[in-house]
């Protein structure tokens, strides 16, 4: 079975400081892993994805995530938070390499303090 656990429901950082959003996954297969962002009243946008290539994945807007199989983790980081990063972030695992179905975590709401 596939599932993800987002360890923090809410993270608050000051503008210009690093961001860390934590995610642990469970998968019966070699997983594909994703981070999506959801801004208020907007659709889900793909930030980055891991599909068994490089373990450090770079995404849009300066975000990156590192796949650690031994820890079953896929944490999302950014060196310096911007006000526009305030949103809901979802860690996602697919059930097969072809990403037929996506299993979403419960989300982490990121607040950026000016």
Partner 1 sequence: DTGVSQDPRHKITKRGQNVTFRCDPISEHNRLYWYRQTLGQGPEFLTYFQNEAQLEKSRLLSDRFSAERPKGSFSTLEIQRTEQGDSAMYLCASSLVGPRTDTQYFGPGTRLTVL
* Residue placing its CB nearer to partner 1 in the complex, 15 or 27: 27
Q: Quick one: DSSP state of residue 53?
A: S
Least distance in angstroms from the C-beta of 5 to partner 1: 11
Residues of this chain, 32-91, that bind partner 1 according to CB under 8 A: 32, 34, 36, 41-46, 49, 51, 90
What proportions of the chain, in percent to the nearest 5, are helix, strand and coil? 10, 55, 40
Q: Quick one: DSSP state of residue 71?
A: G
Look at strands 73-78 and 87-94 and give their pairing.
Answer: unpaired
Q: Site residues (CB under 8 A) for partner 1?
A: 32, 34, 36, 41-46, 49, 51, 90, 92, 94, 97-107
């Amino acid at each position: 079975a596939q599932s993800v656990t987002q360890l923090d429901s809410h993270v608050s950082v000051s503008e210009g400081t690093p961001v860390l959003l934590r995610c642990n996954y469970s998968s019966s297969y070699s997983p594909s892993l994703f981070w999506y962002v959801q801004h208020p009243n907007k659709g889900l946008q793909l930030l980055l994805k891991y599909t068994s290539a490089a373990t450090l994945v770079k995404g849009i807007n300066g975000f990156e995530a590192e796949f650690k199989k031994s820890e079953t983790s896929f944490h999302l980081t950014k060196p310096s938070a911007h006000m526009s990063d305030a949103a809901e972030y979802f860690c996602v695992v697919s059930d097969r390499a072809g990403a037929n179905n996506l299993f979403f975590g419960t989300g982490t709401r990121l607040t950026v303090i000016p």
